[in-house]
Structure 1
Amino acid sequence: MRPFWVRLVVVLTVLTGINYVTWRWVASLNWDAWWIAVPLVIAETYSLIDVMLFGMTVWRLKERTPPSPESADATVDVFVTTYNEPLDMVMATALAAQRIRHPHSTWILDDGDRQELRDLAAAHGLGYVTRGAAWSGMPRHAKAGNLNNALMMTSGEFLLILDADQIPEPDILDKTLGYFNNRRVALVQTPQYFSNVPDSDPLGSQAPLFYGPIQQGKDGWNAAFFCGSNAVLRREALMQLGLVGYVKETEKSVRRALSASQAAIRKARKAASNESPLLLQTLDEVEAATLEARRQLDAGESLSEITYRARRRVDRAVQSLVLADVTALQADLEEIAAMSPVQVGEAGVPVVTEDAVHRMAARDWSPLGAIESVQAVLDALSVERTDEAQPVMPLATISVTEDMATAMRLHSLGWQSVYHHEILAYGLAPEDIGTMLTQRLRWAQGTMQVFLRENPLVQRGLKMGQRLMYFATMWTYLSGFAAVVYFAAPIVYLLLGILPVTSLSADFFLRFIPFMVVNQLLFAIAGKGIPTWRGQQYSLALFPTWIKACTTAARNVWLGRPLGFAVTPKDRQSGGPRWSLIRPQIIVSVLLVIASVVGIGRLAAGMSEPIGTLVNVLWVVFDLVVMSILVRAVLYRGYQADEPDDETSSITEPSNERAARGPEL
C-alpha cells in the first residue's frame, strides 16, 4: 500500500503546487515592488520544480529483496583509500577489510606515500599501492587519480571501495556480490552510516532521507549513483568506461588541433603574402591535409590512421619546402661570395663590407618561420595522452568528487546500478562545524562541476528518467539563491511595509496552505517515519555554502580558476566555538529579529495590516528556527558515547560494539 499512498500524495503535491505558483505568476504579483515580487515568485517556482523532482524520485521507490548467492570464485580487490588520515584509523579499516569473509585481496591506496604505512601494511600482509614516477608533474586528480592508479596495478573482477574511516562488516561482500549475477550490473551502493553521531545529529551527518527514499527512488529509475565509498563496482564496466573516455578525449584533442591548425594556416598565409609561390603551395598542401583529416574524423575512421596520414602528408610538404629553401640558401651564399665582400682591416683581420651587410639584412633568408606555428599545432595530432600520467582513466576526473560523474557515465553506456538498503559499513562523521562545512562545500562543488561540464539533460545514452534523477540532485544545490530571497521577503515587509503579492487575501491562503501541507505530508509518507527535518534545516541554513559552491564551480569550469580542494579532516579540529564560520547567517538572523521588532512597532502605530504582520512574523520565526541548528552546530563538542566503551576497540571490531550503534535501515 505504501507506493499507492506515496503516488497519491505526489499527485496532490504537484496539483496544489502548480495551482499556487500559476496563480502567483498570473494574478498576485505586486508589480509596484517588482524588485522583490519577481525574485520571490522565481524562488517559489524553483521550490515547486524541486518538490516535483522529489516526487518523481519517490514515484518508483524500490525495496529490493536479498539477491541470489554470489559466485564463490568471484575475485575481489578491497581498496582502502587514504591521503593523510591517522595511521591507526587507516589500519583499523584495513584490518577490518582483511576480515571480510568472501575471498579477496585488501589494498591500502596511500596517496600520501608514507613509509610508516607501507611498513604496517607489509607487517600485516596487506597490499600497498602508491603512485609511481609517471605521476610526477602530472595532474593528480585527487581520489579519482588514486583509484585509477590502483586499477592499473590490480586485477580483481570486482572492487569494494572504502574510505579510510569506513569499517566494513565481514559479510559486506556476501550481501552485495549476488547482484552481479546480472551481467549488466556495474555498481552496488550501500548506505554511508556514521557511528559517532548522537541521536540529535546537530551537524546533519546521517542523511536518512538520501540514504533511504531518495536512493531507493533513484534505484527504481536505474539511477542510484556511486557515493564514493561503501560500494562494489565491476572492473569490466570501469575499464570500458576508461577506454571510451580515452577515445572521446583523444578525438576532442585531435579536433582541437585541427581547428587550431586552420587559424595557424591563415596567419601563416597572411605573413607569407610576399614570399615565394612554393611557400604558399606548401601552406595549401598543409591545409588540404587538415581538411581531409577532419572529413575522415567526421566519417568515423580510425584516429590512429587519421593522425598518421595527416602528419605524414604535412611532413612531406615541409620536407619539400626545406629542400627548396636549402637550395635557395646555397645559391644566395654563392651570390654573396661572388661580391667579394671580405676586406682586410687595419689589424689584418678580415671584415665584411658594409654593402654586403645591407644586402644580407635585406634578404629574407628562410620562409620556414611562416609555418612554424602550423607545425607546432600539428604536432598535437597524436593519440597519446601526454598530458596525463596514464592514458586510461576509468573513474571520472572532471570534478573534485569522482563518484557521480562515474556513475552517470556508466549509466550512459547501458550499465545498471543497485542500491542495497542495509548498513554494511560504519564511518566517522565530522565532529565540528568547520570540517562539516568543508565536506559539504566539496560535495556541492563536485556536483556543480559535473552539471556544468556534463549536463545530464543532454547526455547521450541516458534515459529520460535517469537524466532527471541526476538533474534533481544537481538542482538542489541551487537552493542557496532561493534561500536569500526567502529571508529577504519578510524583512522587506516588516521594515518597509512592502508586500511582494497584491494582497494576503483568501485566494492566497486557499492555494498556499494546501500546497505546504501536502508537501510536508509527502516527505513524511515517503520517509516512512525517518527524520527529515534536519535535512530541511540545512538545505536553507547553509545557503552561503551552496552559493559559494555554485560560483566557485562556475569560475573553475568557465574560467579555469582553481577550487582550492582540501581533504576533509577525519578528526575534530581544536579550538573554541568558531562563530565566524556562520557570520552571514548571524547577520541574517539579526536582521530578521530587528525586522520583527520594527514590524510589531509599525503594527502598534497603525502603519501596517495585522494579517500581513502576523504572516511575516511567523515567517521570521520559521527562519530563525531553521537557523537555530547552526548555533547548536557551532557549540557541538563532538560525539560522546552513551556508554563508556573503548572507542578504539569499537573501531577495530566493527561487527560488535560499533556496528550495534546503528540498526539496519
Structure 2
Amino acid sequence: MKLFWVRLVVVLTLLTGVNYVAWRWLSSLNWDAWWIAVPLVAAETYSLIDVLLFGMTVWRLKSRTPPATAPPDATVDVFITTYNEPLELVMTTALAAKEIRHPHGTWILDDGDRPEFREMAAANGLGYVTRSAEWHGMPRHAKAGNLNNALMMTEGEFLLILDADQIPEPDILDNTLGYFNNRKVALVQTPQYFSNVPAHDPLGSQAPLFYGPIQRGKDGWNAAFFCGSNAVLRREALMQLGLVGYVRETEKSIRRALRASQAAIRKARKAADNGSTLLHETLNEVEAATLEASRQLDAGGSLSEITYRARRRVDRAVQALVLADVSALQADLEEIAAMAPVEIGEAGVPVVTEDAVHRMSARDWSPLGAIESVQAVLDALSVERTGEAQPVMPLATISVTEDMATAMRLHAMGWQSVYHHEVLAYGLAPEDVGTMLTQRLRWAQGTMQVFLRENPLVQRGLKWGQRLMYFATMWTYLSGFAAVVYFAAPIVYLLFGILPVSSLSADFFVRFIPFMVVNQFLFAVAGKGIPTWRGQQYSLALFPTWIKACTTAARNVWFGRPLGFAVTPKDRQSGGPRWSLIRPQLVVSVLLAIAAAVGIGRLAAGMSEPVGTLVNVVWVVFDLIVMSILVRAVRYRGYGAGDSEDETDVNNGSSKERAVRAPELQSE
C-alpha cells in the first residue's frame, strides 16, 4: 500500500514540476534582467531533474524478506582497513570482528606498516597484512590499493569489509551470507550507522534518507551500491572484475598506441618525402604492421600474440634499415670530418665556418631520425603493466573513493547487489566541522571523478534504470552551483529591486506553491517518518564544498592535477570553533541579512512592491534557517559534551553498548 502512495506522489511531483518549470521558461522570464533570470530558471530546472531522479529511485522501493540460512561451509575473510588510526580503536574493531559467529578469518589491513600492529595482531590470533615490496615506488591507490593487495594474499570465498571504527555485531554474517545462495549476487551492503551522534545530529552524519529510501529504491533497480564499509562481497566477482578490467585497459592502451603510431607514420612520411626508397619501404612495413594489429584486435585475437607479432615485425623492418644505413652513417662522419667546421675568429673565439654551414644544410642525413618517434610509440604495444605493483586491480582505482566505481563495474558485468536494511555495525562519525568537511569533500570528489571518467549514462552493460540510479547520485553534487543562484536572487531583488520573473502574479503562485508542497510531501511519504530536514540543510549549506569537489575533480581528470587523499580522523580535532571553515557561508548570510533589512526599508519608503518584497524576505529567512546549522556545527563540542548522562564511551564501547542507541532497521 505504501508503494502506491509513493508512486502517486511521484506522478503529482512530475505533473506539478513540469507545469511550473515549463511555464517559467516559456512565459515568466524577465529578459531585461536575463543575467539573473536565466540562471535562476536553470537552477530550478536542475532542482526539478533532481527531485524527479529521486522520484524514480523510490518508484521501486524494495522491501526484502530475511535471507535464507548462510551456507555453513562458506569461507569468509573479514578485512579491517587502517592507515593511521589509533591502535586501541582498530583493535576494538578487530577483536569484535573475531567474535563474529560464522567461521571466518580476521585480518588487519595496515597501510601504515606499523610494527606494534603486527605484534598486537599476532598476540590476539589475528591476521595482519601490509603492502608487499612490489608496491615500493608504485602508485598506492589509497584504500583501494590496500584492499587489492589483501585480495592477493588471502583466499576466503567472501569478504566482509569494515572501516577501522566500524564495530560489527556477531551475527553480521549470519544475516547477510544467505543472499549469496543466489549465484548472481556479488555484493550485500548494510547501513552505516554512527553511535557517537546525538539526537539532533548537528553534523548531519547519520544520512537516514540515503540509508533508507534511497538505497532501498536503488535496490529495486538492482543498483544498490558499495559504500566502502559494512559490506560483504563475493571474491569471484571481484577477481572477474579485475581480470576483465585488466584486459579492457590493456586493449584500450594498445588501440591508443596503434592510433598514435598511424599519426607518427604520417608525420614521418612528410619528413621523408625526399628520403631513400628503403626508408619508404620501412614506413610501409611499419604501417602494415599496425593496420594488421588493429584488424586482429577487432577480430578478438590474443592481445599478447598481437602485440608480440607487431613488435617483432616492426623491429625487423627497423633493423634492416639500420644495417643498410651503416654505410650512410660512416659517410656522415667522414663528411663532418672533412668540413673543418671550426676555426678561430678574430677575437680568439671558435666559430663555425660559412663552408661548414652550407655543406651541413645541403647534405641528406641518415633517415633513422625520421622513424624514431614511430618506434617509441610502438614500444607501448605491450600487455605488461610495469607501472603498477600488481596488474590486476579488482577494486576500482579511478577515484579517491573505490566503492561506487567498483559497484558500477560489477553491475555492468551482470552481477547483482543487495541492500540489507538492518544496522549490523556501529561506527564513529566526525565530531568537528573540519573533519566533516574533509570527509564530505572526499566523497564528492570521488563521485565526480567516477562521473567524469566513467559516465554511467554511456557505460555498456548497465540497464537504463541502473544508469539513472548512478547518475542520480552524481547529479546531486552539482547542487552547489544552483545554491549560489538561489542565494543571489533574493539579494538582487531586495537590494536593487530587480525581479528575475516578469511578475509575481497569480499565475506564478498557482504553479509554484503546489510544486513545492508536493515536493516536500514526496520526501515525507518516501521516508515514512525518517527525518530528512538535516540532509536538506546540508545539501544547500555546503555549497562551497560541492563546488570545490566538482572543480578539483575536473582539474584532476582533465589536467592531471593531484587531489591528495586524507583519511578522516576518528577523534575530535583540538582547538576552539573554526569559523574560517565556513567563511563563504558567513559572507552569504550577512549579505542575506543586509538584503532583508534594505528590502524592508525600501518597502517602508514605498520604493518596492509589497508582494515581491514579502516573497523574497521569506526566501531570505528560509536561507538563513538553512545556514544556521553551520553555526551549530562549528560550535559543536563533540559527542558527550552536552548529552545525557547515561551515554557510554563510544571510543571503547562494545557493539552492544552502541546498539542501544541504534534505531531498529529491520527488513520489512
* TM-score band, normalised by shorter chain: over 0.9
CA spacing shift, 1:277–1:642, aligned 2, 3 Å: same
1:403 partnered with 2:403: yes
* Structure 2 contact 491–595 (Cα < 8 Å) conserved: yes
CA spacing shift, 1:285–1:200, aligned 2, 3 Å: same
* Structure 1 contact 77–107 (Cα < 8 Å) conserved: yes
Matched with 2:16 is: 16
**What's the secondary structure of 2:139's corresponding residue?**
coil
Shift of 1:247: 0.7
CA spacing shift, 1:518–1:649, aligned 2, 3 Å: closer
Long gaps (5+) in structure 1:
342-353
Matched with 1:201 is: 201
Q: Which amino acid aligns with 2:271?
A: A
Q: Deviations over 1:37-64 (max 9, x none)?
A: 1111111111111111111111110111
1:152 partnered with 2:152: yes
Matched with 1:561 is: 561
The separation in 2 between residues aligned to 1:512 and 1:358, in whole angstroms, is 80
CA spacing shift, 1:430–1:271, aligned 2, 3 Å: same
CA spacing shift, 1:90–1:649, aligned 2, 3 Å: closer
**What's the secondary structure of 2:77's corresponding residue?**
strand
Matched with 1:643 is: 645
1:252 partnered with 2:252: yes
1:478 partnered with 2:481: no
Matched with 1:346 is: none
CA spacing shift, 1:360–1:74, aligned 2, 3 Å: farther
Q: Map of 1:168-183 to 2, 5 A cutoff?
A: 168-183=168-183
The separation in 2 between residues aligned to 1:646 and 1:152, in whole angstroms, is 39
TM-score (norm 1): 0.94
**What's the secondary structure of 1:647's corresponding residue?**
coil
Q: Map of 1:58-207 to 2, 5 A cutoff?
A: 58-207=58-207
**What's the secondary structure of 1:601's corresponding residue?**
helix
Matched with 2:347 is: none
* Structure 1 contact 191–422 (Cα < 8 Å) conserved: yes
The separation in 2 between residues aligned to 1:601 and 1:643, in whole angstroms, is 48
Matched with 2:51 is: 51
* Structure 2 contact 192–426 (Cα < 8 Å) conserved: yes
Matched with 2:608 is: 608
1:542 partnered with 2:547: no
The separation in 2 between residues aligned to 1:40 and 1:415, in whole angstroms, is 41
The separation in 2 between residues aligned to 1:586 and 1:215, in whole angstroms, is 33
**What's the secondary structure of 1:108's corresponding residue?**
strand
Q: Deviations over 1:3-51 (max 9, x none)?
A: 1111111111111111111111111111111111111111111111111
Q: Deviations over 1:377-431 (max 9, x none)?
A: 1111001111211111101111111000100010011100000000000000000
1:422 partnered with 2:425: no
* Structure 1 contact 650–658 (Cα < 8 Å) conserved: no
The separation in 1 between residues aligned to 2:435 and 2:627, in whole angstroms, is 18
Q: Which amino acid aligns with 2:614?
A: L
* Structure 2 contact 89–651 (Cα < 8 Å) conserved: no
CA spacing shift, 1:205–1:335, aligned 2, 3 Å: closer
Matched with 1:500 is: 500
Q: Map of 1:443-458 to 2, 5 A cutoff?
A: 443-458=443-458
The separation in 2 between residues aligned to 1:648 and 1:539, in whole angstroms, is 28
Q: Deviations over 1:291-311 (max 9, x none)?
A: 111122222222112111111
* Structure 2 contact 89–652 (Cα < 8 Å) conserved: no
Q: Map of 1:153-552 to 2, 5 A cutoff?
A: 153-326=153-326, 366-552=366-552
Matched with 1:4 is: 4
Shift of 1:648: 6.2
Shift of 1:495: 0.7
Deviates more, 1:88-97 or 1:327-336: 327-336
* Structure 2 contact 76–104 (Cα < 8 Å) conserved: yes
The separation in 2 between residues aligned to 1:306 and 1:611, in whole angstroms, is 73
**What's the secondary structure of 1:187's corresponding residue?**
strand
Long gaps (5+) in structure 2:
341-352
**What's the secondary structure of 2:325's corresponding residue?**
helix
* Structure 1 contact 246–392 (Cα < 8 Å) conserved: yes
Matched with 1:37 is: 37
**What's the secondary structure of 2:626's corresponding residue?**
helix
The separation in 2 between residues aligned to 1:360 and 1:394, in whole angstroms, is 60
Q: Which amino acid aligns with 1:230?
A: N
* Structure 1 contact 477–546 (Cα < 8 Å) conserved: yes
* Structure 1 contact 261–378 (Cα < 8 Å) conserved: yes
Report sequence identity in percent. 85
Shift of 1:663: 2.6
* Structure 1 contact 176–188 (Cα < 8 Å) conserved: yes
Shift of 1:642: 2.5
The separation in 2 between residues aligned to 1:133 and 1:161, in whole angstroms, is 24
CA spacing shift, 1:32–1:360, aligned 2, 3 Å: closer
Q: Map of 1:564-643 to 2, 5 A cutoff?
A: 564-640=564-640, 642-643=644-645
* Structure 1 contact 650–657 (Cα < 8 Å) conserved: no
**What's the secondary structure of 2:48's corresponding residue?**
helix
The separation in 1 between residues aligned to 2:322 and 2:63, in whole angstroms, is 72
CA spacing shift, 1:137–1:602, aligned 2, 3 Å: same
Shift of 1:327: 5.0
Q: Deviations over 1:508-567 (max 9, x none)?
A: 111111111111111111101010000000000000000111111111111111113211
* Structure 2 contact 90–165 (Cα < 8 Å) conserved: yes
Q: Which amino acid aligns with 2:254?
A: V
**What's the secondary structure of 1:106's corresponding residue?**
strand
Shift of 1:269: 2.9
Q: CA RMSD in A?
A: 2.1
Matched with 1:349 is: none
Shift of 1:375: 1.5
CA spacing shift, 1:312–1:88, aligned 2, 3 Å: same
Q: Deviations over 1:234-258 (max 9, x none)?
A: 0111111111110111011111111
Shift of 1:359: 12
**What's the secondary structure of 2:90's corresponding residue?**
helix
The separation in 2 between residues aligned to 1:240 and 1:657, in whole angstroms, is 39
The separation in 2 between residues aligned to 1:295 and 1:440, in whole angstroms, is 47
| Count of residue pairs brought into register by the alignment | 649
Deviates more, 1:313-322 or 1:40-49: 313-322
* Structure 1 contact 93–167 (Cα < 8 Å) conserved: yes
Q: Which amino acid aligns with 1:206?
A: Q
Q: Deviations over 1:288-341 (max 9, x none)?
A: 11111112222222211211111111111112112222355568899999x9x9
CA spacing shift, 1:336–1:520, aligned 2, 3 Å: closer
* Structure 1 contact 188–231 (Cα < 8 Å) conserved: yes
Q: Which amino acid aligns with 1:552?
A: T
The separation in 1 between residues aligned to 2:358 and 2:538, in whole angstroms, is 79
* Structure 2 contact 79–159 (Cα < 8 Å) conserved: yes
* Structure 2 contact 430–572 (Cα < 8 Å) conserved: yes
CA spacing shift, 1:288–1:567, aligned 2, 3 Å: same
CA spacing shift, 1:334–1:512, aligned 2, 3 Å: closer
The separation in 1 between residues aligned to 2:147 and 2:112, in whole angstroms, is 13
The separation in 1 between residues aligned to 2:234 and 2:546, in whole angstroms, is 33
Matched with 1:350 is: none
Q: Which amino acid aligns with 1:92?
A: T
Shift of 1:646: 5.2
* Structure 2 contact 180–186 (Cα < 8 Å) conserved: yes
Deviates more, 1:628-637 or 1:302-311: 302-311
The separation in 2 between residues aligned to 1:581 and 1:42, in whole angstroms, is 29
CA spacing shift, 1:277–1:623, aligned 2, 3 Å: same
